[in-house]
Amino acid sequence: MADEPRKIAFICSKGNLDMAYPALVMGWAALGNGIDVTIFFTFWGMDMINKARVDHLEIPPVANASMKMNMMGIPGYIGIPQILGIIPGMTPFASWLMKKKMKGLNIPTVREYLEMLVDGGAKLYACKMSVDMFGLKKEDFIDGVIDIVTASDFMDMTEGSQIIFI
């Protein structure tokens, strides 16, 4: 058993900016620890690998009760009150703030993380059912997406992996 390689698989089902990073960060850490990484993108998680969407992920403040960030250098954390989320322009504003903060911390963009993961040996797949539902094709995805596979195929190819659903 100790001779078998460690394997981890992530299922990415959400396309919001804040939901994109957990699998990317943990996948990168896993690769650094010699763990085999597979990532399966389904439903709105496919925005992460969609050429037209990957650079435009947003963080909507509505229904995000935990959304707190240090805005514009003000000490402490300021939560965006939920009611403000309904004001037109709040999602782009919150997204801009988050991206600005991440850039200041030299955190790679989603596209850069995906490139790093692919270069490091991670395997990326799109969900066939979701691809069919949204009328997408393999050409719609960033370089590095190996194939479009069924959920059953994904289960077969990740047998023995720890599976994390995000």
| Residue ranges making up the domain that contains 98 | 68-104
Confidence of residue 23 (pLDDT cuts 50, 70, 90): very high
Residue 152 lies in a domain: yes
Answer yes or no: is pLDDT of 86 > 50. yes
Residue 2 lies in a domain: no
153 and 72 in a single domain? The answer is no
95 and 157 in a single domain? The answer is no
- Nearest-angstrom CA–CA distance, 64 and 100: 19
- Nearest-angstrom CA–CA distance, 154 and 150: 6
As beta bridge partners, residue 37 has 8
Mean residue pLDDT of the chain comes to: 88
Residue 137 lies in a domain: yes
Percent of the chain with pLDDT over 90: 69
Residue 154 lies in a domain: yes
Determine the distance from the C-alpha atom of residue 150 to the mean position of all C-alpha atoms in its chain, rounded to a whole number: 19
